[in-house]
Amino acid sequence: MNKKLLMFGLPVLTIAIVSALLVPYISNLYEETISIRLPIEVSGTGSIEGFAEDNISITLTYENLKDNNTRGVINYYISNSEGLTCEDFNSIIVVRDGDTTPEDYIAIGRCFQDGINRIKLSSITAKSYEPSAWSVTNWETNQTHETEIILDFKNVIGEYKFESQVMYD
């Protein structure tokens, strides 16, 4: 029985191994590693320390790394592990590159609760969920935009985390 198994099994096994090795070779198989990056690079500088009722300023730079134009909507998030609401701020002023009229996201209703400990500042209004013409940023190839965010805290203390996110159009 063992000799019959070896006599038929060994050639079948050999053919299977040779076929497995030849298929990629003769089938024009091509492999490539692909690395995907986000088209907009965000960097920033700002105050890392302040006092209650102080203005904290953060300057963000957005740079288009693509070889063509891109567009998107920028959202900002602020969080605090002990809880945070939009009412913890007197104002949150957003000044974009070239804007002559900065906007107060608190006054115009663009501050939204995003969980117990986090708020979202968005150029998209809550009622329509559609970006306004002002809210969509267009980046040309290698173009940079600067945005200054001025946070006017009420009488609150604690550690806060600030984030910026680009939602691509």
Q: What is the pLDDT of residue 127?
A: 45
Closest CA to 75 of 109, 116, 124, 114: 124
Q: What is the pLDDT of residue 15?
A: 76
User: Residue 132: pLDDT above 60?
Assistant: no
> H or E segment at 73?
strand 70-79
Confidence of residue 125 (pLDDT cuts 50, 70, 90): low
Q: Count Cα atoms within 13 angstroms, Cβ side, for 116.
A: 3
User: Residue 91: pLDDT above 90?
Assistant: yes
Which tokens hold the place of 17? 């191994």
SS3 157: coil
pLDDT in tens, 11-41: 776 777 777 666 655 666 677 777 777 777 7
Average pLDDT, the chain: 78
- 148 phi/psi in degrees, rounded to 5: -110, 130
- 12 phi/psi in degrees, rounded to 5: -65, -45
Domain covering 40-168 in this structure, CATH number: 2.60.40
User: Residue 166: pLDDT above 70?
Assistant: yes
Which tokens hold the place of 118? 């986090």
User: Residue 46: pLDDT above 90?
Assistant: no
pLDDT in tens, 47-86: 667 777 778 889 999 888 888 888 888 889 999 888 889 9
For the chain, domain boundaries: 1-31, 40-168
Average pLDDT over residues 127-156: 73
Report the percentage of the chain scoring pLDDT > 70.
76
Which residues, in sequence order, are bridge partners of residue 138?
Answer: 71
How far apart are the C-alpha atoms of 86 and 111, rounded to whole Å?
6
